[in-house]
Structure 1
């Protein structure tokens, strides 16, 4: 079966490996040493000894959202400081690295990474000091670097028959053509794309002209993020193909890559800024800001809180589940290790319960674009495929309680992805990049497909007496549990490196791909109180 090249050897051996190469003046105990990908990152870096950087920090999850006076006093007594905002259930403790090390009783060293970056880290996970029990619920990592990447279509074949799906074929494949014919084209909606790379306006102009679409002129926030590599071009063109009248916004996300361990704090700030500028917008993300084995849930608190605020204002957020076939913790340029159980993991941000995590499929259509079949996307020779799986960090949300997963039989953990769409480069969407007609690829194609369909559905819902989607996951799982129309196409074939697709929910393709005309009617029924119960 496709993708089973690692299923047996990985899924049956999910263990935490404790590094036997800790480097510090205070050797970590087995109880406190951080294993898995975190240990691989440090082992693949050069230990420079006790940190001489001027700053170190860690995020702490608080027991409640009141002012953490015990933490503030404790920090002052230990030559540290606390950053806390009113109403937040998290804070940042910071100071000189040697003071952080002394206060928490763990070594803090400097490391030289494989990409030439210098960062501080502790090979041990600190314990909550006794004085803070009852105030602090969990500590984050003492780590000054977040492995990151942007899912981008680096391997776009030039010999795909018919050069991929045209806009009309894409709409037809997911049964959105009737909505487009009725004038639902995303008008009045805003889609925000968070990006690490830039775009050439000439490619966007050519794409719009070639398919008779309105001009594609995105709003750019924060300047061009970098040189064009294809990712944001793909996102914009795929979304424009579906929702040509939506306003598209590109947000430069490179400023989140701070060298002081504050990446997730900066992501939270960026989310809040975008929410302020574009309240109620739809978000599309294809950036990997670390796997869920590198961090703790406390580290992600700033991002989670900002996402919750945006959703309260009507935002719906989609994030690519990843293209490593379930091995999102494999280090790539940051650390190397033999393929094994430590590679299994999720994209940390995509695993947030409020985020709609989008997996990938291989799509089959007839010559007119009519849907014929889909299966989980896997490309074994390239070690590519739809990612997903079982969260290490978040409990199972109430709306996901009724779905099953082989690797989480007791329904204890958040599962990803939630939904899926075409990601296979041999069956993807035709795009224009670097003056060439190419084919989109990856879950970084799947996420903007869903974001654009959300814009179309929002317009439809408002026009028919409903309201915008906002936090979408509870609604999606309600539709899947029973609705008046078949809102999803179930995907029960294919696999990735860890799991096998199955009827119903599976941790490769989620609930399946969308049947848009039926899905939006189901969502309107829910808003009107007409859905089956």
Structure 2
């Protein structure tokens, strides 16, 4: 681009640790990106300005790019073009990178747009197609010390039916989520209808209505490692709230695919989800600021729409698969309810931390990107690793230890799976019950949850590596695990 170029703030991207550029990307390779625009007005839920959408569309045509989708509500435009066209349009140099046996299309440095779009475009997502997020589920190690890969039959030797976990937490038994739609975001894998039929029959629960929604060309594709995540999400929600409709939004595991899936769920005028469950994420250090900020703006739309969003806090302790303490995004968004993990013992709960045996530990800590939200002003959140006042993660907790995990059925086999991936759908199901009870939509619940600490079982024992549990909110289990009936009363109004 010429001297009129403008750097999109927060767009600088680094290569993955240990990755090396092995060459330029094929100039003819097709690239799909999502361009995110600012709001037309400074309020949550405000759409993009119609004239500014036209400006971006004109820019796209000038560079030979095709407009694949336009969403004023999500403030986004989908563009399709070749690597060569994207390089020219956004002032980048896309290359092929290699790391840990995988290759990806990537970039380093900033993204650029013309100066006339400087105050219009807030993010350009998807130029880089590295896997952006990880599924936060865990299968326990084999007792003999070998990792149980996939879904070995011997993994299904213990664990709880989801309805038993719900019973332990005092979920009401006179509700089934009727009238609610729970959106589940999946960035890989799939489910088999036969598995769901067998699973719910074995659990003694009517099979819920489950539908697959394709986003950016991704589809329900069972047979991969991520099937465990998909099954866990559907089966936990379906066992506890079988009357709810479960809509599974499948999208590519890229910054644009993830964004588009969330936008599709929030603004789905056909299914109208009241709850979104997200079990995928990555340490904040693995995201660009432009991506986190544009996602956070999208999450801010949820409240006015009456949608509640839950996200797993991660399964790698306070480091979250990074160097030093990290929190997981999107759980760190102030508009998302971050879900931490416990070990559910016969007589109580402690922080989930099986790091010594390789079985993971709950994520949690303090954001270095998002400031302290008002609802956490009295929570005694410690300073962030940068000594700033940051958003504390998680907000709530639930059983996540794979050794006290959830019975599921995946690819024709029974298994027991845990991870904070189980906690997001657990809370999603509880919220479906609350919405049914109140005949309403809970929306963003943070202020109500933090105003009622007695509605939680306070977890005061254990740590996640960098932080220890204690009375009140902590960076391991947040406010604690739910007292189901009380949470239903709070959220159901």
TM-score bracket for the superposition, by shorter chain length: 0.7 to 0.9
1:266 aligns with 2:236: no
1:392 maps to which of 358, 362, 368: 368
1:151 aligns with 2:128: no
1:365 aligns with 2:331: no
SS at match of 1:187: coil
1:58-97 to 2 correspondence within 5 Å? 59=35, 62=38, 65-66=48-49, 67-68=51-52, 86=72
* Contact residue 332 and residue 367 of structure 2 kept, 8 A: yes
Q: CA offsets per residue over residues 105-160 of structure 1, 9 Å max, x none?
A: 76554434545444130x32458887766666678796343433323344376779
Equivalence for 1:407: 383
More off after superposition, 124-133 vs 318-327: 124-133
1:221 aligns with 2:222: no
* Contact residue 72 and residue 81 of structure 1 kept, 8 A: no
- Count of residue pairs brought into register by the alignment: 455
1:448 Cα deviation (Å)? 1.2
Q: CA offsets per residue over residues 189-236 of structure 1, 9 Å max, x none?
A: 222322322233444333333343223553333453322633222223
SS at match of 1:276: coil
Equivalence for 2:109: 124
1:279 aligns with 2:272: yes
* Contact residue 139 and residue 417 of structure 2 kept, 8 A: no
Could you list the runs of 5+ residues in structure 1 that have no partner in the other structure? 1-31, 331-339, 367-371, 481-485, 528-533
Q: Counterparts of 2:85 and 2:424 in 1: how far apart (Å)? A: 43
1:425 Cα deviation (Å)? 1.5
SS at match of 1:426: helix
Equivalence for 2:180: 189
1:444 Cα deviation (Å)? 1.2
1:34 Cα deviation (Å)? 6.1
Equivalence for 1:4: none
SS at match of 2:291: coil
* Contact residue 324 and residue 383 of structure 1 kept, 8 A: no
SS at match of 1:270: helix
Equivalence for 2:488: 520
1:378 aligns with 2:364: no
2:19 maps to which of 44, 48, 61: 44
* Contact residue 111 and residue 120 of structure 1 kept, 8 A: yes
More off after superposition, 264-273 vs 351-360: 264-273
1:278 Cα deviation (Å)? 1.8
SS at match of 1:191: strand
Q: Counterparts of 2:204 and 2:127 in 1: how far apart (Å)? A: 52
- Which protein is richer in strand relative to its size? 2
1:266 Cα deviation (Å)? 2.8
1:247 maps to which of 225, 244, 248: 244
Q: Counterparts of 2:16 and 2:467 in 1: how far apart (Å)? A: 24
1:349 maps to which of 299, 324, 330: 330
1:111 aligns with 2:107: no
Q: CA, structure 1 residues 277+136, in 2 after alignment: closer, same or farther (shift >3 Å)?
A: closer
Q: CA offsets per residue over residues 214-266 of structure 1, 9 Å max, x none?
A: 2355333345332263322222332233223x23424241x3346xx633443
1:468 maps to which of 430, 438, 441: 441
* Contact residue 34 and residue 76 of structure 2 kept, 8 A: no
Q: Counterparts of 1:450 and 1:508 in 2: how far apart (Å)? A: 17
1:498 aligns with 2:493: no
Q: CA offsets per residue over residues 416-443 of structure 1, 9 Å max, x none?
A: 2211100112222333445554323111
1:411 Cα deviation (Å)? 6.4
1:516 Cα deviation (Å)? 1.0
Q: Counterparts of 1:442 and 1:429 in 2: how far apart (Å)? A: 10
Equivalence for 2:286: 294
Q: Counterparts of 2:36 and 2:273 in 1: how far apart (Å)? A: 29
Q: CA offsets per residue over residues 314-362 of structure 1, 9 Å max, x none?
A: 22221211212233354xxxxxxxxx33xx4333323222222211111
Q: Counterparts of 1:389 and 1:446 in 2: how far apart (Å)? A: 17
* Contact residue 351 and residue 362 of structure 2 kept, 8 A: no
1:81 Cα deviation (Å)? 7.2
Q: CA offsets per residue over residues 384-409 of structure 1, 9 Å max, x none?
A: 11112222333332222222233339
SS at match of 1:208: helix
Q: Counterparts of 1:140 and 1:198 in 2: how far apart (Å)? A: 24
Q: Counterparts of 2:124 and 2:411 in 1: how far apart (Å)? A: 45
* Bigger Cα Rg: 1
SS at match of 2:338: strand
1:310 Cα deviation (Å)? 4.5
Equivalence for 1:165: 160
* Contact residue 140 and residue 417 of structure 2 kept, 8 A: no
Q: Counterparts of 1:523 and 1:268 in 2: how far apart (Å)? A: 22
1:476 Cα deviation (Å)? 1.5
Q: CA, structure 1 residues 280+118, in 2 after alignment: closer, same or farther (shift >3 Å)?
A: closer
Q: Counterparts of 1:523 and 1:144 in 2: how far apart (Å)? A: 38
* Contact residue 207 and residue 238 of structure 2 kept, 8 A: no
1:238 maps to which of 230, 236, 251: 236
2:308 maps to which of 296, 316, 325: 316
Q: Counterparts of 2:449 and 2:238 in 1: how far apart (Å)? A: 24
TM-score by length of 2: 0.77
Q: Counterparts of 2:434 and 2:61 in 1: how far apart (Å)? A: 54
Q: Counterparts of 2:53 and 2:210 in 1: how far apart (Å)? A: 46
1:174 Cα deviation (Å)? 0.5
Q: Counterparts of 2:62 and 2:340 in 1: how far apart (Å)? A: 46
Q: CA, structure 1 residues 95+294, in 2 after alignment: closer, same or farther (shift >3 Å)?
A: farther
Q: Counterparts of 1:76 and 1:188 in 2: how far apart (Å)? A: 41
